[in-house]
Amino acid sequence: MALRIITPLSFPKSVQAGRSTTTSASAPAAPPVRGIYPAVSFRSLDHRPVIADGRLREDFSSGTGRVSAFPLCFATAGTSGRSQDQSSSLEGGIESGEDEKVVKKAVPSLPDRDFSGTPYVPVYVMLPLDVVNMSCEVADPDGLMNDLKLLKIAGVDGVMVDCWWGIVEANRPLEYNWSGYKHMFQIIRQLKLKLQVVMSFHKCGGNVGDDMTIPLPNWIAEIGSASPDMYFTDREGRRNTECLTWGIDKERVLRGRTALEVYFDFMRSFRVELDEFFEEGIISEIEVGLGPCGELRYPSYPMEHGWRYPGIGEFQCYDRYLMKSLKNAAEERGHSFWGKGPDNAGTYNSRPQDTGFFRDGGDYDGYYGRFFLSWYSKVLFDHADHVLMLAKLAFEGSSIAAKVSGVHWWYKTASHAAELTAGFYNSCNRDGYAPIAAILKKHNTALNFTCVELRTMNQYEEFPEAMSDPEGLVWQVLNAAWDAGIPVASENALPCFDRDGFNKILENAKPLNDPDGRHLLSFTYLRLAPALFEEGNFFEFKRFVKKMHGEAVIDQ
């Protein structure tokens, strides 16, 4: 039987060993959350902590049959039946096979960084998607109160909640129902927690983590059934009903209003009807939804159309409004034959090297390619510019934020194909995020960025073909924002319960030895779920919150 010595891969300094997350070989692979696609372990949850006599207690109930769909951060189920975490933390472990044994050298565990005395970074927690139901009522007031008390024990500063367009203005234009949100805000106020509120102009459902469906308003669907060009459309003519195309931002196709006017009226109504919570300082920030999942991007990788990670996605500009805009831009440039989308950009699940447009030396960097990508990204910039201008008017004097998605796959290729189809013109010879930071700066808006818990090495181990680099992307985006002089907030892309994931968030929140002392404005944790309150997970979360607050942590 052969004996083979394997030297561990060279880890970045930021990568720490000693993680303990485990999975079983039979664990099913989960589809992507906002573009992230690690496999996960599923485990049933049959208990829920409650507060009694001032103490945490476990409330065990039988026969619930509930299963957590929230993965441990970085847990993977490979064919070997062992997680990445185990693989990277084995010290002198032996792996047996029929013909050989593999001995792995020890990977030294690095001590945790001491964050005591560092700047205070507020921590918020996203509430469940169904906290307010389709009737605009708080679904479970007692359960919400109990969960908020637990979060209060953990020391969090507040919570984030989506205000869904499809719930509030569900049936008729300009008829708003805020009753459920008022009730929920009153509960949050009782516990002296702060609120981050998202103006959610997109559909909920179809993405991993979406445990319910909240469509766009019924009256919008009625218009869309007769005029489907109001939705983003791919080259094959497939419509995406997750949000409205930016091509109708200034078109009066919504019962006499433009899309921009609809968004503004919604935001203004919220500001007026929930005024008391602004005046009392309960609402600390408004995050303005700018696209699918509330993020500033095109819906270029929809699962409902068959996309799977790490596909490059497809351009979403084939509704008649955006095509008219493209043709006008081509004519102004003097090349009317450029007024069409690329015909060699592949399909949702193509790889860059398999397409004539995105391959190295491909058309993306030719005369037409540069024209098209400049126009495509400008449409995205203009949408953000217009909506944020109106948000600034509606929420004058309040803090505003906008979320940008972390499209990190194919980041290590020349074209950055997945970013290009999402609207970020960030190929190897361009900076696609500095223009976004400039727009946010113009409107005094903070940047909220995702995937700060991901490590490049973990992504490489699971999907080496994806050429992913979340750490490089985070570094680029954070510095683009800081260089523009705007605040930066962040959130995790995947539910995270382990120390390694929390440590990575801390590293990004408070960069070591930054000469300017830069740090995140705030961090929002995705998402409140029963698994967070399990004993080990809750311990790690409380420890993380203390470090974000700059408090000393003594492990016993």
Give the span between the Cα atoms of 456 and 282, in whole angstroms.
37
DSSP structural state of residue 304: G
Contact status, residue 251 vs residue 388, Cβ threshold 8 Å: no
Closest Cα partner for 97 from 232, 220, 4, 184?
4
Tell me if 210 is assigned to a ligand binding site: yes
Residue 450 among known ligand-binding residues: yes
Tens digit of each residue's pLDDT (9 = 90 or more) over 361-416? 999 999 999 999 999 999 999 999 999 999 999 999 999 999 999 999 999 999 99
Q: What is the mean pLDDT of residues 292-300?
A: 97
User: Could you give the strand order of the β-sheet that contains 100-104, starting from the edge strand earlier in sequence?
Assistant: 2-6, 100-104, 94-96
- pLDDT single digits (tens) 421-462: 999 999 999 999 999 999 999 999 999 999 999 999 999 999
Give the pLDDT confidence of 207-253 residue by residue, as tens digits.
666 678 999 999 999 999 999 999 999 999 999 999 999 999 999 99
Side chain identity, residue 308: R
**519 assigned to a ligand binding site:** no
Q: Which of 314, 462, 491, 534 is catalytic?
A: 491
408 is in an annotated binding site: yes
Which of 398, 162, 164 lies closest to 285 in space, CA to CA? Answer: 398
Q: How confident is the model at residue 556 (pLDDT cuts 50, 70, 90)?
A: low
Q: Which of 514, 501, 478, 479 minimizes the C-alpha distance to 547?
A: 501
492 is in an annotated binding site: yes
Mean pLDDT over the full length of the chain: 85
Closest alpha carbon to 231 in 222, 239, 223: 239
| Residue 111, pLDDT score | 77
Q: Give the active site residue among 285, 287, 295, 419.
A: 295
Please tell me the least confidently modeled range out of 45-49, 55-59, 267-271.
45-49
Q: What are the structural domain ranges in the chain?
A: 123-308+380-549
**Which own/partner pairs from 469-473 qualify as long-range (CB within 8 Å, at least 24 positions apart)?**
469/408, 469/411, 469/412, 470/406, 470/408, 470/411, 471/12, 471/14, 472/408, 472/411, 472/412, 473/406, 473/407, 473/408, 473/411
> What's the token pair of residue 28?
């099913």
Query: Does the CA dihedral 215-219-221-227 come out positive or negative?
Result: negative
Is 295 annotated as catalytic?
Answer: yes
Is residue 386 a known part of a binding site? no
Query: Exposed, middle or buried by CB within 10 Å (0-12, 13-18, 19+), for 402?
Result: buried
Backbone angles phi, psi at 95, to 5 degrees: -110, 125
- How many C-beta atoms surround the C-beta of residue 110 within 10 A? 14
**What confidence tens digit (pLDDT) does each residue in 329-338 have?**
999 999 999 9
- In angstroms, the Cα distances linking 93 to 193, 199, 500 are 47, 50, 21
Positive or negative torsion for Cα 96, 97, 99, 105: negative
- Residue 343 labeled ligand binder: no
Task: Judge whether 466 is annotated as a binding position.
Answer: no
23 labelled binding-site residue: no
- The answer to whether residues 470 and 33 touch, using CB atoms and an 8 Å cutoff, is no
Confidence of residue 101 (pLDDT cuts 50, 70, 90): very low
- Using CA atoms, how far apart are residues 45 and 206, in angstroms rounded to an integer? 23
CA atoms within 13 A on the CB side of 327: 8
Whole-angstrom distance, CA of residue 169 vs CA of residue 174: 7
Q: What is the pLDDT of residue 353?
A: 97
- How far apart (Å, rounded) are the C-alpha atoms in residues 65 and 57? 21
Q: Tell me the mean pLDDT in the region 130-158.
A: 97
- Active site annotation includes 331: no
Domain 123-308+380-549 coded CATH 3.40.50.460: no
Q: Find the range with the poorest average confidence among 73-82, 105-114, 397-406.
A: 73-82
Cα dist. 26→37, 43, 89, 342, 475 in Å?
A: 17, 12, 21, 41, 35
Nearest alpha-carbon partner for 299 in 218, 226, 413, 206: 206
- Which residue type does 66 have? R
**pTM summary value:** 0.82
